[in-house]
C-alpha cells in the first residue's frame, strides 16, 4: 500500500536494482539501507522482472517502507539500447506487461546459457564457477556473470569481445510494444536516463520529438546522477511543455557503487500524483 501523502522533502528514489537482475544488492540489504537512510517511498526496477515485485513489496511493507510496483524494460531504438521504466502495474496480475517481460527475460537467459556453453566448447575452463556464481545460486543470469567467470579465471584480454564471439547478444523488446503493454496493464512508462549515453541512447530535444511521434511515452527520468545540470533543465522544460511526467532515480546497483539518492518528493509531484500519492503543500 502506497502512502496517500508525502511531505515535500520526503526522500524518494525510483530506480534501484537487486540481484534479481544486474545488481549486487540483495533485496533485504537494499531495503535495510533505505529504511536506515530514512527514505519514504522507493521503486525497485529490476530489468525485465515483474515476477519478483510482489515479494519485494512485502519485504518493504514488513520494514515500514512502501515500494512502488516497477520494472525496467530493455528496448532498442535506432540501433541503440534504450531502457523504459514502467510503474504502477498490479504485481498480482501484471497482464500484458508481465507476459512481455517474461518472454524477454526467457530469451535473455537462453542466450546466456548458450553463450556459456559455447565458451566452454571453445576451451575456456571455469573450475571456480561454483564459487564465483554462488551469489546467484550457481546460475549465469546476467552478462556480468560471464565477465566475472572469465576475469576470475585469468581470461582478461578483451572480455567483451570474447563474450560476443561466443554468441552473446542483447535481447530487447520493441519500445512501442512495451508502452502498449504497460498501458494495457495500468502502468505508466518513462524513458530511463535519457541523457546517460554510455552505450544507451542519449536524447536531445529533436530526438525526443522523433521518438514520441513513434512511441507516445508518458515521461522522462529527468533527475539522474549522470545528467548535467543543463540536461536536467532541458528535460524538465521539455516535460513541462509537453505535459510529461518527471521521475528521479539513482540507478543504484549495489553497496560498492552508487548509493540510493534522496530526491525530494516535491521534484516529482505529478509523477507521484499519477501513482495516487499527493505531495502536501507544507
pLDDT tens-digit map of 85-109: 999 999 999 999 999 999 999 999 9
**Do 79 and 179 have their domain in common?**
yes
Query: Please, which pLDDT band fits residue 282 given cuts at 50, 70 and 90?
Result: low
Environment class of residue 254 by beta-carbon count within 10 Å: exposed (0-12), middle (13-18) or buried (19+)?
middle
- Give pLDDT tens digits for 235-280: 999 999 999 999 999 999 999 999 999 999 999 999 999 999 999 9
| 3-state percent breakdown (helix, strand, coil) of the chain, nearest 5 | 40, 20, 40
Residue 47 scores a pLDDT above 70: yes
Q: How confident is the model over 67-77, as pLDDT tens digits?
A: 999 999 999 99
Quick one: cell of 70?
A: 516497477
The model's confidence at residue 281, banded by pLDDT at 50, 70 and 90, is confident
Phi-psi region of 195 (alpha: psi -120 to 50; beta: other; left: phi over 0): alpha
User: What is the spatial distance between Cα 182 and Cα 174, in angstroms, rounded to a whole number?
Assistant: 12
- Residue 136: what pLDDT? 80
Is there a single domain that holds both residue 42 and residue 72?
yes
Torsion angle in degrees (nearest 10) through CA of 263, 266, 271, 275 = 100
Contacts of 38 (CB under 8 A, 6+ apart): 11, 262
Q: Are 68 and 41 in contact (CB under 8 A)?
A: yes
> CA 24 to CA 60: how far, in whole Å?
18
Measured CA to CA, the distance from residue 267 to residue 263 in angstroms comes to: 7
Are 108 and 160 in a shared domain? yes
Q: Could you give the angle at the alpha carbon of 195 between the alpha carbons of 190 and 199, nearest 5°?
A: 100
Cβ neighbour number for residue 28 with a 10 Å cutoff: 12
Q: Are residues 130 and 191 in the same domain?
A: no
Strands (E), the chain: 5-6, 11-13, 39-43, 67-68, 70-77, 80-87, 188-191, 219-223, 245-248, 263-264, 278-279
Residues 124 and 205 in one domain: no
In the chain, how many domains are there?
2
Same domain membership, residue 188 and residue 159: no
Q: How far apart are CA 41 and CA 268, in angstroms?
A: 12
pLDDT above 70: percentage of residues in the chain: 100
pTM: 0.95
End-to-end CA distance of the chain: 23
Q: Are residues 16 and 147 in the same domain?
A: no
pLDDT band at 221 (very low <50, low <70, confident <90, very high): very high
Domain co-membership, 133 together with 204:
no
Task: Name the residue among 31, 105, 82, 95 with its Cα closest to residue 202.
Answer: 82
Residues 48, 74: contact at Cβ < 8 Å?
yes
Mean pLDDT for 128-143 is: 90
pLDDT at 135 over 90: no
**Residues 11 and 56 reside in one and the same domain:** yes
- Domain with 147, as residue range(s), is 103-165
For helices 95-121 and 175-184, what crossing angle results, to 10°? 140
69 and 178 within one domain: yes
> pLDDT confidence of 156, banded at 50, 70, 90?
confident
Amino acid at each position: 500500500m502506497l502512502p496517500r501523502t508525502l511531505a515535500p522533502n520526503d526522500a524518494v528514489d525510483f530506480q534501484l536494482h537487486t540481484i534479481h537482475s544486474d545488481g549486487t544488492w540483495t533485496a533485504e540489504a537494499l531495503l535495510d539501507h533505505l529504511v536506515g537512510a530514512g527514505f519514504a517511498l522507493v521503486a525497485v526496477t529490476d530489468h525485465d522482472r515483474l515476477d519478483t515485485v510482489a515479494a519485494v513489496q512485502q519485504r518493504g511493507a514488513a520494514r515500514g517502507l512502501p515500494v512502488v510496483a516497477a520494472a525496467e524494460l530493455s528496448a532498442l531504438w535506432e540501433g541503440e539500447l534504450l531502457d523504459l521504466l514502467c510503474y504502477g502495474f498490479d504485481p498480482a496480475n501484471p497482464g500484458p506487461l508481465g507476459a512481455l517481460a517474461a518472454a524477454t527475460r526467457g530469451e535473455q537467459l537462453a542466450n546466456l546459457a548458450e553463450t556459456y556453453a559455447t565458451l566452454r566448447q571453445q576451451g575456456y575452463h571455469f573450475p571456480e564457477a561454483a564459487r564465483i556464481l554462488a551469489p546467484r545460486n550457481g546460475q549465469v543470469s546476467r552478462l556480468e556473470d560471464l565477465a566475472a567467470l572469465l576475469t576470475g579465471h585469468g581470461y582478461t584480454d578483451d572480455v567483451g569481445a570474447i563474450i560476443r564471439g561466443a554468441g552473446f547478444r542483447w535481447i530487447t523488446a520493441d519500445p512501442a510494444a512495451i508502452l502498449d503493454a504497460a498501458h494495457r496493464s495500468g502502468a505508466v512508462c518513462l524513458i530511463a536516463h535519457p541523457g546517460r549515453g554510455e552505450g544507451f541512447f542519449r536524447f536531445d530535444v529533436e530526438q525526443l520529438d522523433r521518438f514520441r511521434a513513434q512511441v507516445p511515452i508518458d515521461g522522462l527520468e529527468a533527475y539522474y546522477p549522470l545528467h548535467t545540470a543543463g540536461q536536467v533543465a532541458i528535460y524538465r522544460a521539455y516535460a513541462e511543455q509537453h505535459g510529461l511526467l518527471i521521475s528521479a532515480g539513482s540507478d543504484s546497483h549495489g553497496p560498492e557503487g552508487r548509493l540510493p539518492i534522496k530526491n525530494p518528493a516535491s521534484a516529482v509531484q505529478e509523477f507521484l500524483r499519477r501513482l495516487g500519492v499527493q505531495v502536501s503543500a507544507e
